[in-house]
A and B are shown apart, each in its own frame.
Chain A
């Protein structure tokens, strides 16, 4: 669309009410500036980001504001960089973390590889169990039975030391 005052493309579009009449206004950058309109000088990507942010639900905004107490990283920062700040972020941003990892890891729900010999000061097994139980319940409620079964398998592995399978007697 062209500017109302010249042939340049219009950058500012406004609907104004003048003397009770509705009027559309289309102005190029120069004429808009002359009339006192402030043109956006921020990059388009930033505008879009802001738009997306404000377009989010309250729940999503709350999630974005969540913060890792250990390193101060917010979930919004993580979404921007795709990188966590520290080991504690993995627990701070549950359950979003589980969804992100499972998607990236082709549906895998937990580690099956090697465990370091020295794991003092690391994540608490009981907390992991509690979290898994929560997720199993949520998966069943959402009728994601395959995922629930996979999580259940992991829970059994973790609980193995508590209820060891009985040895068949010879």
Chain B
């Protein structure tokens, strides 16, 4: 893959935005979250948040009590993909543990008692796998997880049993979308027992052509086999499809792509009012422009940072007035203009 020097390759981040490992676990002796009483849920919370984690996690985790968190704080966590929308909106006693500079997130009392997640930028699947596993094993030193000789780790939804592990990647697939091949890829992914979801997971849209791809089979293979298949076969194949589609588009329809990319940059540099979705779509196009070699004075990292900052809760965190939608649009446009102004090839005052 390294022969394509035209693209900005850093952990394959031209296509792979981030990877995520999610491990589902339930505590033995308790009904699953949906069936447990509130006192049982509290007990699960206590056990997990007070469990000793050993030498691997000397500082433990920072725990966020979701009941006490404001709507804006919960939305912030959704925007960072640290919690599911379902978890953010639930009214059950629940908490989120954060560690390793937010690379590790542990949801307690989601659909399963525990959803251990590690999220890393770029295609760093091994690191994410090791981090999630080390936390899982650290907890297992003192906590018994529901386990079945035949079905492995038991989960509320029987489709997660076995290893209880989901390997996921957030992929940026604009060329497959523009060329109309994305539907074919989705069908192929389904045949390979992969789930293809939107920007914020299940039931959400692929805003900005960002897709979450994850394995659906969690039984009948070891954790290492699942990892190897996903890391060495599934994702490289999807990366390859997208890169081929990008090259084809540039060869056959370069003016169209250039038009899209430069219009996006121009809009972001002059817009006075920007909605979150519009900004996400335009920034996605910039991301595509950078990785296709059309934009040089801008880094993918800057765009990634902006993609997060333009989301409503993040914006409101920086500028409290931006919580109001109309002021948010104004504030978002200023934020983007400032960020791009530093890198502008033309006049930053435009």
Contacts and interface: CB of A to CB of B under 8 A. Distances in A.
A111 B147 CA distance: 10
Q: Which of A70, A84, A108, A117 is packed against the most chain B CB atoms within 10 Å?
A: A84
B79 interface: no
B163 A111 contact: yes
A108 B149 contact: no
A108 B221 CA distance: 8
Nearest to B162: A111
A111 B156 CA distance: 16
Contact of B31 (A85, A107, A108, A117): A85
A122 B148 contact: yes
A128 B149 contact: yes
B151 A111 contact: yes
B219 A111 contact: yes
A123 B223 contact: no
Given A97-B158, A121-B144, A84 B32 contact: yes
B157 A83 contact: yes
Nearest to A109: B220
Size range of the interface on A?
35 or more
A154 B31 contact: no
Nearest to A132: B150
B272 interface: no
Contacts of B118: none
Contacts of B150: 110-111, 123, 128, 131-132, 154
A84 B158 contact: yes
B147 A119 contact: yes
B144 A118 contact: yes
B240 interface: no
Interface string A55-97: 0000000000000001101000000011111110011000001
Contacts of A82: 157-158
A111 B161 contact: yes
Contact of B32 (A86, A110, A122, A123): A86
Contacts of A97: 158
A112 B26 contact: no
Given A90-B148, A120-B144, A154-B150, A106 B217 contact: yes
Q: Which of A82, A110, A115 is packed against the most chain B CB atoms within 10 Å?
A: A110
B157 A85 contact: no
A84 B153 CA distance: 13
B238 interface: no
Q: Which of A110, A116, A125 is packed against the most chain B CB atoms within 10 Å?
A: A116
Nearest to A120: B144
B148 A112 contact: no
B148 A87 contact: yes
A149 interface: no
Nearest to A101: B158
Nearest to A124: B149
Contacts of B28: 87, 121-122
Contacts of B146: 87, 122
B158 A86 contact: no
Interface string B156-172: 11110111010000000
Contacts of A128: 148-150
Contacts of B111: 83
A158 B144 contact: no
Contacts of A83: 32, 34, 111, 156-157
B145 interface: yes
Given A101-B219, A105-B161, 12 more contacts: A84-B32, A85-B32, A90-B158, A90-B161, A101-B158, A105-B220, A106-B193, A110-B219, A110-B220, A111-B148, A111-B163, A116-B145
7 contacts: A87-B32, A87-B148, A91-B148, A105-B162, A110-B150, A113-B223, A114-B223
